[in-house]
Structure 1
Amino acid sequence: MRRLFPALLTAAALLQPGCLRQTPAVPPVQIDQVRIGFPGGSEPGEAADERGRSDLFKSGEWTPVYVDLTVGPQGLVGTRSEQAETGFQVVVEASDSDNVQNSYRVPLPNLEPNQQFTALAYLKPGGLLDDVSVSVRAVTLQPDGRRKKDDPLIPPARFTPQALDLGDHLFLTIGPHLPKLREALDKTNQNQTAARSRVAFVDTVPLLPTEWFGYGAVDCLILPTGSNPDFLKALLNDQQGRKEALAEWVRRGGRLVLSTGHYQDLAKELLARLQMALPVDIQGTLDVPRLEGLERWLVDRRPPPLVNQPLARQPGVTPPIEMARLEPRPGAAGEILVSQSGGAGTHPLIVRAAHGLGQVTLIAFDLDRAPFTSWGGQADFWYKLLDIPRPQPNPTDQAAAANPYPGYGENPSGELATSLQRNLEDFAGVPVISFGWVALFIFLYILVVGPLDYLFLKKVVKRLEWTWLTFPVVVITVSVLAYAAAYYLKGNEQKINKLDLIDVDLASPQGAIYGHTWFAIFSPRTQHYTIGLEPAHPVWTPDSADNNAGVLVSWLGRPEEGFGGYGRTRSQGFFRSAYEYAPAAAGLEDVPLQVWATKTFQASWERPLSPQGPAPLEVNLHRSQSDPQLIVGTITNRLPVPLEDAYLISGGDPIRHTAFSLGDLASNEARDIRLKEGDQGTRMAEWAASFIPAPYYGSSAGPTLPNNLLLREALFHDEVP
């Protein structure tokens, strides 16, 4: 008994709350870091741009999101059975330009205990300072693919990254660094009110996007190949779709600058893997003492001689410059910007050619090796090669100065996207009630429920306590009348306005058709919508098992400040429930639309032309051998509808660009062409100026153009001096 009593005291002491220490639970996964966009800076060790942004991206454009994870001691391993499938997903959530939350999901592979992993997701932010959350979720899918359970494993990580300013240009270098590129861009960044140019870099292949739209914020991508062959080899050996994503981005409108000299064999293999057919072949290397062709190209800037430095051990001996030997392909379309004498003749030094809707510039010497890296003319070279726009005042700033208080629905900035969205949301039979009428009815409503109700009860009924009855009666009556009036004016029919832009590429070896679609939906009731798009007519393209391949669908906003624009500085979604992107952003699911509300979307797609069926257009044109300015041949319209107000644009350089009016082309009509530049047609600058209005910064909504002229202005606005 004597021994039992001390033992009981000891046990009681151990059971006190402060004596038992519980080991803190280890989370199943931990989010270590989230990076949105591409790493900023152009020099090794440079972690941020001059505004302190470590990662660069644009609002209103797709950008990659890198989520660094550390798995807990249990690992993350999914299960599969006949009834359900369990896995894990990274979910990135933000708001669009209408402040509606949306999310993009990427599945996680099975991860080992304590493994570190970087998940690659994508985001289209709706503001310059957009609230973003990233979470890891355990998801259970039913056999039909619908989610049965969707539980967060840990609290989401929330932060507010800063995007580039509206109108800023983003240049991305992958592989080696190009320090002097920043110096060239700084020349354009002196005007604080102008659009500025930024430099980002990626020096490891795993940081490259696996989806083509991950490059959406990039204006030009530069790939040097002279000093980091391991990067090229890793890109060539990649099996996760990074080469395919880069090639598709260029085909769908991207600009690629590739330089090669010493490792021209790797560059040649990369171009073959990317399926980029250029107007030249790379055939080994060529040694030249000096790149005088490049010096002549920059003669107006008087660059120093581009030669190697003399050898330290052999004074007076200057080693030659190694360049890739480019041989033109007969009949291939392209533009030789610079030529260089060497060997047995003259060889192209800089070549530019179209690839789909995009552009490829091939440079036959290394931009990341001597002597170019120590050359004093680098800044002028980049300035001219990239066609960096000179500083121009920001149109939004000019508009604000001319019209500091624009009315609702006005477009003082003159942005084409704003005008296009305004046109799309103008539905026939759905009038827009002006703010003046709304203010008048609000005033009458306040007058009825306030003074008139009081005077009626005091002077006529003489019982003020009846306001407990008259007030709700007036409110209900006015609400019913307002709903009936809106129902009468707005209707109960769902409406869609849609605009398509189709590009038929007959120059590429396979042939392709590209589409851009902008559409707005008017919802007569509160409803959630699933948004998708079916691409080209099946007669033109081969059958595909995956109808969503190549389709990209997202919201459309205005490139300006204020509600509905993705240039605002802060946003927080009004709706708690977020709509979702389908895999690879091929569609949208559960998009909420309120009653009598509108929302605008944009989509793009790509399809190869069917080798069996006819192309939408058949073009057989050539220049006469006796007169190179004479264009002869035929154009056949295979579309089931006529082409109205058609034009033929010719010319190998901007000075010779000429627009010929063809009038209307009926369906299946074959038109004989015999047109001569100089004698017929209109110079491009004059033709473009005929339908592109001057910049408007007035105090009203400004001129309204129909959609066809808006698209024409968007396509050819660069032609106006």
Structure 2
Amino acid sequence: MNTFSHIRCSFEGRILCMMRGLKFFCAGYICCLILLGGSTLAAEAPRIIELQVGLGKQCQLGYWTPVRVHVQAGEQDFSGHLELATADSDGLLTVYSGFSKGPIEIAIGEKKWLTGYVKFTHHGGLKIRLLEGDKVVTEADYPRSRLPKLIVSTNDRVIVIGAELDLKSALTRGEENPAVTHLPDFTTFPDRWYGLEGVRQILVTTSNPDYLKGLSESRFMALEQWLRLGGEIVICIGSRGAELLQAENYWNRLVSGRFQFVEQQWKTAGLEVYAGAEDPLELATDGAIAAQMTVLESVAGRTEVYDGVGDAGQRPMVVRRLFGFGQVVFVAVDLDLPPFVDWPAQSRLLRRISLGDEELASGDSKMARAKGISRFGYEDLSGQLRAALGQFEGVTLVRFYWIVGLLVFYIALIGPLDYLLLKKWNRLHWTWITFPSVVLGFSLLAVVMSASFKSKQVYVNQLDIVDFDVETSQLRGTTWVYILSPESRTYDLQVKPKPIDQLDDDQLACLCSWQGSPGKFLGGLNTPSVSASIQRHKG
């Protein structure tokens, strides 16, 4: 009996130990599954490797800015879209999406550059989201301190692609201080025309094939559309004219005239007079690398300078022609090669080519700007337009200085005036009546003013400007809309052009966005916000 009991107890003890061990094993197994499952889910999500904002690490306040995001897929294929978010000029979060026609496809482990476009202000930074359907799979926040320095909205912008020409020194005169951006090639060039908004001119050098690396059909189409809508480009084609001006080449679509040949020795007198140079250009005669000249025939446009002077100059060297609402300037030599790189008059030549007739009329334009008439407290047309559109017939808006004046009067009335008057009348105990009476009176005044001046309906002021190019039959329209809402709510705003003739969808495009006010006044784009200053100090 005792032996049986001992055996049974030993057996039950072993079973109990095995059960406890099994429990610990199951618990550990479940924990491992949870950890492995969590790491697997984390690995499956795509990740952001690199971020590039702006052109040449520069972006301008209130203008469309390209944002390039380098994404690597996880252990699953990514099929979704990119979404960017940043604050507008009023500090409200604005979400930008729809950068691709269909979903973005990235295979397992592969890397891909995604491009989106936003408008920056001094309010906050940038939020990036990768979505699959409506589900956010990856999200990253970049504070203002991690983004490039913002160029003020009123600055003139010029982009130099290829060789690093000193265009900054050439264009800087007195108050004129343009922002010049250098891109070594077309790798980071926008694939949408509005990615070049705010850029006045692009200068391209072509002497080295690497300068044109990254130029694709989508990027060249964006460049073409930007030109047709009012952009300017300077193209320097000298030694590589035979290659770049073939019928199937991109640049042949912009340059007018037919290619003839490349000239090794050309006359320099025309450019010397054009630049107002005191030192002559000396071409190399010992076989060293030097600028060669591309000779064209049947040139359309205005030839500003020939290779010689008078009857000696027969071949065009600088040709300026209209291209839609923009213009193309063809330069028949490479300005980044000798003898131009060491020529003392290179800066004057670059300025003359870049500005054209504006350089000759710079004195008159400065006088015209000095005599400009200001309206609604603004000196620029954009600010005047915004202020004029903010005037609604039959609506009286509460002015900021009204509020300040009433607030100052209220503080003075309940403080020193109340004390001095009651002390003069020897009735200081009356303050138990006068103080709440003043508070109640001003509260009623605020309610009455709010009810009287508040609009009861939505008001819309709109201005349309339409440009028509007779030569190309191209139409360009711009609409400014100012909306006054009686309450805070969300609206679905759409702009639908109504052309006279029936057009296909690919012939009609519309871009809608917010507009900020330039300048350093209260609410202006060039005025840093308090939150932006705090973020910079923290960074």
TM range (shorter): 0.7 to 0.9
1:103 and 2:95 correspond: yes
Larger fraction in helix: 2
* Partner Cα distance (2:498, 2:253) in 1: 23
CA contact (8 A) 1:30 1:70 kept: yes
Q: Which amino acid aligns with 2:334?
A: D
1:93 and 2:85 correspond: yes
**In the alignment, which residue of structure 1 is the partner of 2:117?**
122
* Partner Cα distance (2:409, 2:312) in 1: 90
* Partner Cα distance (1:374, 1:14) in 2: 80
1:325 to 288, 295, 306: 295
* Partner Cα distance (1:290, 1:345) in 2: 8
1:303 and 2:279 correspond: yes
Q: Which amino acid aligns with 1:209?
A: P
* Partner Cα distance (2:246, 2:121) in 1: 39
Shift of 1:218: 1.9
For 1:532, what is the secondary structure of its paired residue? Answer: coil
CA contact (8 A) 1:286 1:324 kept: yes
CA contact (8 A) 1:131 1:571 kept: no
CA offsets per residue over residues 431-482 of structure 1, 9 Å max, x none? 2344454345546777999999xx9xxx9xx9x89x99x9998788556423
Shift of 1:560: 0.8
Identify the range of structure 1 (340-349 vs 130-139) with the bigger mean alpha-carbon deviation.
340-349
Shift of 1:274: 6.9
For 2:105, what is the secondary structure of its paired residue? Answer: coil
For 1:296, what is the secondary structure of its paired residue? Answer: helix
**In the alignment, which residue of structure 1 is the partner of 2:3?**
none
**In the alignment, which residue of structure 1 is the partner of 2:503?**
543
Task: Label 1:372 to 1:351 Cα distance change in 2 as closer, same or farther (>3 A).
Answer: same
Question: Superposition pairs for residues 119-198 of structure 1, below 5 Å?
Answer: 119-127=114-122, 130-140=123-133, 149-160=134-145, 161=147, 162-174=149-161, 176-178=162-164, 181-182=165-166, 184-186=167-169, 194-198=175-179
Shift of 1:64: 0.8
**In the alignment, which residue of structure 2 is the partner of 1:420?**
385
Q: Which amino acid aligns with 1:378?
A: Q
Task: Label 1:480 to 1:265 Cα distance change in 2 as closer, same or farther (>3 A).
Answer: same
CA contact (8 A) 1:166 1:195 kept: no
* Partner Cα distance (1:550, 1:270) in 2: 29
Question: Superposition pairs for residues 529-608 of structure 1, below 5 Å?
Answer: 529-535=491-497, 537-539=499-501, 542-545=502-505, 549-570=508-529
CA offsets per residue over residues 360-400 of structure 1, 9 Å max, x none? 100112234444445454323212221399999xx9xx99x
**In the alignment, which residue of structure 1 is the partner of 2:377?**
411
Q: Which amino acid aligns with 1:429?
A: G
2:193 to 190, 212, 231: 212
Shift of 1:289: 4.3
Question: Alignment length, in residue pairs?
Answer: 487
**In the alignment, which residue of structure 1 is the partner of 2:219?**
242
CA contact (8 A) 1:63 1:122 kept: yes
Task: Label 1:477 to 1:139 Cα distance change in 2 as closer, same or farther (>3 A).
Answer: farther
Q: Which amino acid aligns with 2:190?
A: P
Shift of 1:347: 0.7
CA contact (8 A) 1:276 1:355 kept: no
* Partner Cα distance (2:213, 2:128) in 1: 34
For 1:60, what is the secondary structure of its paired residue? Answer: coil
Question: Superposition pairs for residues 586-665 of structure 1, below 5 Å?
Answer: none
**In the alignment, which residue of structure 2 is the partner of 1:351?**
319
**In the alignment, which residue of structure 2 is the partner of 1:226?**
207
* Partner Cα distance (1:270, 1:59) in 2: 40
* Partner Cα distance (1:320, 1:58) in 2: 37
Q: Which amino acid aligns with 1:208?
A: F
CA contact (8 A) 1:256 1:359 kept: yes
CA contact (8 A) 1:223 1:257 kept: yes
Shift of 1:323: 1.5
Task: Label 1:308 to 1:545 Cα distance change in 2 as closer, same or farther (>3 A).
Answer: same
* Partner Cα distance (1:263, 1:322) in 2: 9
* Partner Cα distance (1:272, 1:16) in 2: 66
**In the alignment, which residue of structure 2 is the partner of 1:384?**
352
CA offsets per residue over residues 19-49 of structure 1, 9 Å max, x none? 979465436122222221112xxxxxxxxxx
CA contact (8 A) 2:229 2:325 kept: yes
CA contact (8 A) 2:46 2:137 kept: no
Q: Which amino acid aligns with 1:257?
A: V
* Partner Cα distance (1:444, 1:305) in 2: 74
* Partner Cα distance (1:112, 1:59) in 2: 36
TM-score relative to the length of structure 2: 0.76
* Partner Cα distance (1:480, 1:167) in 2: 41
Higher Rg of the two aligned structures: 2
1:75 and 2:77 correspond: yes
* Partner Cα distance (2:105, 2:298) in 1: 50
* Partner Cα distance (1:446, 1:169) in 2: 46
* Partner Cα distance (1:262, 1:187) in 2: 24
1:26 and 2:43 correspond: yes
CA contact (8 A) 1:290 1:321 kept: no
Identify the range of structure 1 (301-310 vs 111-120) with the bigger mean alpha-carbon deviation.
301-310
Percent identical pairs in the alignment equals 22
RMSD between superposed Cα atoms in Å: 4.3
CA contact (8 A) 1:244 1:274 kept: no
Question: Superposition pairs for residues 247-326 of structure 1, below 5 Å?
Answer: 247-269=224-246, 273=250, 276=253, 280-298=257-275, 300-308=276-284, 310-311=286-287, 322-326=292-296
* Partner Cα distance (1:270, 1:431) in 2: 62
